[in-house]
Amino acid sequence: MSEKSIAIVGATGAVGLEFISVLEKLNLPIKNLKLLASKRSAGKTLKFKQTGIPVEETTRESFKNVDIALFSAGSSISRLYAEDVKNSGCVMIDNSSAFRMDADVPLVIPEINPQDALKHNGIIANPNCSTIIMLMAVYPIHKKYPVKRIVLSTYQAASGAGWEAMEELRKASIAYLNDQPFQQTIMPHPYAFNLFSHNSKMLENGYNEEEMKTFKESRKILHDDNISITATCVRVPIFRAHSEAVNMEFHNEAPSVEECKTLLDEFPGIKVIDDRKNNHFPMPNEASGNYDCLVGRIRKDESLPSKAINLFVCGDQLLKGAALNAVQIAKLLV
C-alpha cells in the first residue's frame, strides 16, 4: 500500500474525531494528515498517534496535494467544496446525504460492494448509518437466499444527531431525574425517557427522510430495484449505537435459523450474539465502541414460517455507521 495524504473535513465533530481514531487503529499508510473544520474551530489541536495536529479552516485551497478527503460536515459543506476537491485530483469520501443517490457516485459498504468504489468520478458516498447497519445483517443471508421484502424498525441513538444531541440527552436526563425543568434546543421533543419519530424531514407520503433513505440506498447498494423495504425509524434515549429489528421475507423458502447463524458468523464485521438460555442478545451498550455489528434474536417468523426470518442488530453509528465505513472505503483506494 502506498502512503496517502489525507484530509478530514469536520475534524472536531463527533464523526470527525472517530475518523482520527479509526485511521490510527487501522494503521493506514498516511504521508500527511490535514485536519479541517470551520473558522470557529480553527486553531484547536487534536492528537494523532501522539502528535498534536493543528486544525485549519476549510477553504477552497485546502485540498491541494491531498489524495483522499473524508467529509463529515453536512451536505451543504460537501456540495460547497466538491468541485474544489475533484479539481485538486483528490477523492472525496462523503458522509453526508448530498451525493448518495447521484447516478455517477458509488454508494459503498466495503464488505458488500467494494468493487463499486473503484468506479468513482472523484466522489464516493458513505451510506446512511441505519442503512449500513441493516445491510450488514441482511446481506450475508441475502447473498445466498435472495430477499424479497424487508420490514425494518429502528431504535436510533442520540449519536446520530452529533455531540450536541448526546449532551442534550445527558442534561435532560439529569433534569428529569431531579424533577427540574429543561428546555431542549437540539431535538424537537423532550428526549429523556421518551421516544419519537426520527427527527428528519417528514415527507408527503407520511414517511420521514430517514425511512426513505433505507429504501432508496439499499436498492442502490444491492443493485436490486425490485427489493421492497418499508421502515419505521424512531429516535430513542440512548447515547450511542443504533438498534434495528429486521424482518426478511425471501423469494423462495427461508433458510434455517442455524444456517442464518452460520452465514452471519462467517461474514466480516458481524458478531453473532444469540444466547436464548441467558436471554443475551445484541444491546447498544455492547455495540458502542465495537467495530463489529452485533446480530441476534434470529428466529423464524411464525406468521410466515417457511418464507421469513426475524433478527435484531446493533451497530455503533459513529463507527460502522459512519467513520469506520468511510475509512474502510479509503483503504480500498490505498
Let me know: does 309 contact 255? Beta carbons within 8 Å: yes
Q: Angle of helix 14-26 relative to helix 324-333, nearest 10 degrees?
A: 50
Q: Which of 90, 129, 260, 293 is catalytic?
A: 129
**Nearest by Cα to 165 from 283, 35, 315, 317:** 317
Report pLDDT for 122: 97
Q: Which domain holds residue 152?
A: 131-317
Report pLDDT for 1: 66
Long-range contacts of 97-105 (CB under 8 A, 24+ apart): 97/128, 97/213, 98/125, 99/123, 99/125, 100/125, 100/127, 100/128, 100/213, 100/217, 100/220, 101/216, 101/217, 101/220
DSSP per-residue letters across 220-282: HHHT-TT-EEEEEEEE-S-SS-EEEEEEEEESSPPPPHHHHHHHHHTSTTEEE--BTTTTB--
Helix, strand, coil shares of the chain as percentages rounded to 5? 30, 25, 40
Check whether residue 55 and residue 201 sit in a common domain: no
Q: For 28-79, write each residue's pLDDT tens digit.
A: 899 999 999 999 999 999 999 989 999 999 999 999 999 999 999 999 999 9
Q: Could you tell me the CATH number of the domain that includes residue 209?
A: 3.30.360.10
**Nearest by Cα to 21 from 294, 330, 319:** 319
Check whether residue 115 and residue 216 sit in a common domain: no
Check whether residue 255 and residue 328 sit in a common domain: no
Let me know: does 31 contact 3? Beta carbons within 8 Å: yes
Q: Which residues neighbour 102 within 8 Å (Cβ) at sequence distance 6 or greater?
A: 123, 125
Check whether residue 288 and residue 140 sit in a common domain: yes
Q: Tell me, yes or no, if 251 is annotated catalytic.
A: no
Check whether residue 192 and residue 161 sit in a common domain: yes
Amino acid (one-letter) located at 80: L
Q: What is the pTM of this model?
A: 0.96
Residue 218 three-state SS: helix
Q: Could you tell me the CATH number of the domain that includes residue 13?
A: 3.40.50.720
Check whether residue 222 and residue 328 sit in a common domain: no
Check whether residue 152 and residue 280 sit in a common domain: yes
Exposed, middle or buried by CB within 10 Å (0-12, 13-18, 19+), for 277? exposed
Q: What is the largest CA-CA distance in the chain?
A: 60
Q: Tell me, yes or no, if 293 is annotated catalytic.
A: no
Q: Which residues neighbour 2 within 8 Å (Cβ) at sequence distance 6 or greater?
A: 29, 334
Q: Residue 334: pLDDT above 90?
A: no
Let me know: does 322 contact 72? Beta carbons within 8 Å: yes
Assigned C-alpha cell, 87: 479539481
- Total structural domains in the chain? 2
Residue 160 pLDDT grade (very low, low, confident, very high; cuts 50, 70, 90): very high
Q: Which phi and psi (to 5°) does residue 311 adopt?
A: -155, 170
Check whether residue 90 and residue 154 sit in a common domain: no
Q: Which of 120, 142, 198, 242 is catalytic?
A: 242
Check whether residue 139 and residue 267 sit in a common domain: yes
Report pLDDT for 145: 98
Q: For 114-156, write each residue's pLDDT tens digit.
A: 999 999 999 999 999 999 999 999 999 999 999 999 999 999 9
Check whether residue 122 and residue 135 sit in a common domain: no
Assigned C-alpha cell, 73: 460536515
Check whether residue 46 and residue 140 sit in a common domain: no
Q: For 314-326, write each residue's pLDDT tens digit.
A: 999 999 999 999 9
CA-to-CA distance for 41 and 24, rounded, in angstroms?
Answer: 22
Q: Hey, which bits of 182-222 come out as E strands?
A: 196-197
Check whether residue 88 and residue 144 sit in a common domain: no
